[in-house]
Each structure stands twice: as structure tokens, then as C-alpha cells.
Structure 1
Amino acid sequence: MPITEVVSNAEALTLSIVADYPVPLARLWDAYADPRKLERFWGPREWPATFTRHDMAVGGYSHYHMTGPDGTISRGWFRFLTITPHQLIEVEDGFADEHGQPNTDLPGMRMTFMFEATETGSRFRSVTYFNSVEEMEKLVEMGMMEGMRSAMSQIDDVLTDLATFAATLATHAQLLNDTQVRVSRVVRGTPAQLWRAHHEPALMQRWLTGPDGWTMPVCQVAKSVGERYRYEWASNDGAQRFGFEGELLESMAPHRAVTSEQMIGTDGPATRNEMTLTPVEGGTLLSILITYPSKELRDMILGTGMTTGMEASYARLEQELLAA
């Protein structure tokens, strides 16, 4: 078990934890930066976590829920206040209601996560700051101490699973629930480079073409919130053509962009696509959380080989970035 120290200070209203790991500092940091890894240890063993948002940038948010043995759902959120790469993460943390909004009936807190290299690997220090003795006691009564110990006892398996840290892994789609899918891939490049690659039409038309045999003749980019975009693809033989259009709903360069998306020529409801770009070892974690209007549409789209086409495009994007 990696925890080497737990100190509760009622006068200072703090709870401090120290844990040591025999792995490089960058790998420990990436475990907190990558939601695919974080959700494997953020919740206690009996209450595994699922992250439906994780914008690890100052001002960004994370939304998650933990599912108990009987199916009970407990929701939470945190907002990033400070980030110093490979050194410090500071967040405001709280509970959420069934709509994902902050639940002010339950206590909130501030947490700092500190990272440092050691002779044997890396060290993690966390300090939780409570607002009052009463709130501190309430959270302890709710099982916070036991939950944190159980959660952190799982991180060893995550850190030693070298395959999940490989920057060469192909595009992967993870089903989060009946209507949401998270598509992820580490792309060798910086967040700024990937942001540019998603906002410059001439560059997009070189890489965002899916499998061989297709081109992107129409690439109208939305650069400001409220603007609409339109993308169209055509097969080289001219026999097939399709496209998508939608609206830019949120934008926080170079970390997060949210769009609606609908196939051109259809009347069905749109999907919501949330793209986040997070620096990790080996490049940038490109993650797209797609919310579909129904499970049936989700399964139909995934059944078209969507991730195969996305992987072809991202591989082409890497070649563009490496050649630049």
C-alpha cells in the first residue's frame, strides 16, 4: 500500500496524506491527468468512479459519479484552481445533485495535490482544507477517511499497467453509460498544435479524411461560440458523399471545445461533442465525450466503424505534426 502518512489536524482544519510510488514522476502525474486512469482509483473499491468531464486546465471542471454495490449513484465535481505541470494541482471539490450541479446541502472543500521526484520514484502529497470543524466532522462521519484509503489503495495497479501509458495505443471508444461514449487517443504533439489542427481549414483537409480513398472538399470552421460549422467528405470515385454540421457551444483554447453535431440532410436530434486536449507524457491526450440522444443511435454510429476512421485520421495528423 503506497500511503506512508495520514495526519488529521482539527485546529488547522486539514487532512494530509503522503504516498510514495516506485514509478517516474511523469507517470504519476498522468494518472491524474487522464480520466481513463483516474476513474480506476478515484472512488473506493466498492464505489468505482466514472468521469464524464475532465478539463485539466485552470478554470476547467471535472464531473464524475460513483456507483455503489446496490446501484446507488453519488455525484461529485471539482474545479481546477491552479496547475503547475508535474508539481501541483489545486481544486475546489464538492458533491453534485442528479443534474450534475453543485449540491450546497453537503460540505465542499479545497484540495491540493503535490508531486515530486524521489530517489526511488515519486511522492504524492495531498492536503484537504475544510471550511469548519462541523463540516470536517460531517465528512469524516460520511466515511471520507476510509474512502480515501480504499481509493488510493488501487493506484498501484494503475501505475504498473505500462500498456495503458503507451503513446502508441490506437483510438479507443469507451462506453460510459447508455448514451455517452468517450473516444480517446494520445497524439504526438502539443495541445496548441492539436488546437490549430482542428481550427485551420487547409490543415484539417489534409488529415481529417478518415480511411484512404476519401477527401474533405468542404471545411467551414466555427471559431467563435455561436458560429456554425459544416464538414463534408467525398469518396475519390465520386460515388459517395456525406457531411456533418453544427454549432460551437463552448470554447476554451487550447484545452476544450464543445459542439453540437448533426448529419447533413437529417432531421434527428444532434449529438453533443466535448473535446479536451491534455498534455501527457508522449504527446497530448485527445478525448472526445460524445452524448447521443439515445442508446440506439449510439450503437448504430459505433457500428459504422467510427473509431477505425478516426484512427486513420489521427495517424495522418501525427504525420503532419511530425513533418512540420
Structure 2
Amino acid sequence: MSQQQYIFVCTNPGNEILLKEEIKIFYPELVLSFSKKGFVTFKNTGVSYDLKTISQLQLTFATRSGIFYGKSTPENIVSDVKASGLDSEDFMIHSFAIGCETDFDAQAAFGREINEYSAEGKIVIDLVSLGPNEIWFGAHCVANGCTRYPNSMVEIETPENAVSKGYLKLFQILKLYAVKLFKGDLWLDFGCAPGGASQLLLDEGCKVVGIDPAKISPAVAIHKNFSHMKRSVQDLSHEDLPEDVRWIHADININPKQSIKEVLRLAKKYNRTLKGIIFTVQVVKMEYIENIESFEDQFYDWGFHNIISRQIPSHKKEYVIIATR
């Protein structure tokens, strides 16, 4: 690797502007080098990362990030990876394409399994195809907050009767960050209409109280383990809510500064029973990117110890805060 270090970052296509703003605010030492839809590189003008410390680069709008090593082709990728010093026999390998079709077969090229679930502490070589004959390669270290799947792409089958995209969004969050569901657990689902996220929870055997003034899909509303409170979050008190809630899910179309405050206010009722909160932040204003850390601080102040702020593949101008105790 050359003395000048570069960092690669994958993001949801179309959200490069959010990623660049986050970098500018929180990592100003990273200077934009290359950009296309879904893939951006930065020159590191600060302290260099190594294959362990790169895990300290915590980017909300990244689906994958790591140290960039170079560009190659399908014919030369094996020798180029070896020449870079990356150990393709010991390290794991993830291969994926962004914005293109490619016939590149990493498994055949390297003669080993690829795209396996990566355990914490493992070094993963990332082979990113940006064209049929264009492979950009780098590496990352798996740590807390880092998804274990290639570019955070996890295979999920949603049922044909899923009532909204909320089903897929919550499913991806649960899968990518290994949130375990237990049958019988009671969830509050703020901003639940039309009911996609609630539907997933019900399918998994959970009980759900959906809170939203809007109408719920009949497929969800008639479920025996679902009840609907046609109220706005800001109009609720502790006395309005059920006992023994284990999880809270919130995807509310109001200012996140207000909605976080309201959800955490109501969550105080469950100081004894609550396991965690899954909260979607709608980035309707660029200024909300400046609030990423201050939003997290509110969850820390409540009493949560493990907090992750990340965008998932099905997100648009939004990201999720996962807060657990």
C-alpha cells in the first residue's frame, strides 16, 4: 500500500450527499477523492488507520467502509490483492457489485468460499465491482456496529401480503444487527400506519400496540395480538400505555428532535422491562446530520449502553438508531 492512505465508503445510491456531509462534519481529515453513485473514496490527511483501527471509523451513512488498496480487473485481481499485502488465504472475502452487471466470479478466481457471514474481529477483503472489468478492492475489520454481510446486503424474502415497505425495513434491521425476537414479547410501534413493521412482529409471534392517528391495514388490524391506539405520540401519557413493554419501534413523520424527546419520555414507564428502542430518523433537513451524536447522547442519557446509528439498504433519506441496554 502506498504511503498516502485512501478510504473507501459504500452508501445507498443517491445518498452520497448525506455521506459527504457527515464526513465533512465528523471526519474533516478525509478529503473527497472519487465519487459515483453508491461508492466514494477519500484521501486520509490525518492519522492513518490500520486493519484493526479502521473499525473506529463509524459512519452512519455507510453500508461498508474500509481501507482502499487499489483498482484491478477480473484477470489481475488475485495477483493485485497478493501484491497489496492482503492475505487472501487467511482473511475473509466479500465480493459485490455497485451499479453494474458483472460476470466476475470471486469464488472461482480465489478458489475459496466468499461472502460468508463474518464474525467479530475478522479482517474482510472487499472486492467492489464498479464495471464489468473494474474492481476496486480494500479491507475492513468487523466490529460492533459493522454488519456481517457483503455491503450490508442480506437476503430477505418478504411475503406477498406485506402491507408496506415498513415490513422490509424492520426485517433488514433485525437481521443485520442480530436483534432477537421472542414470542410473546410486547412491542410499542409508534407511527405504525399502515402496519408493515407491526405485521412483521406479529408474524414472528410478538404482541403489538400500534400507535398512529392514521388508518391501519385491515390485515393487521384484525390480528388477535394487535391493538391500535389512534393517537399522536405527543398526546400520550404513561397512563395511556400498557404495562411490561419489552421493545419500542418508532418511525414517525415529525421533527426527530421532537419525536426522540417524546418517545424517550414515554419509555421511562418501562425502565424495568425495556430491552431496547429501534428509532428511525427522517433526514428531511441536512442540519439533522449535525445532530447524529447529540441524538445518540439522548439515548445514552436515558440509560442505554449500546447505540448504533446506521443506514440500511432499504432506507432513503433516513437512518436507524438501535439502542439496547
- TM-score of the pair, normalised by structure 2: 0.31
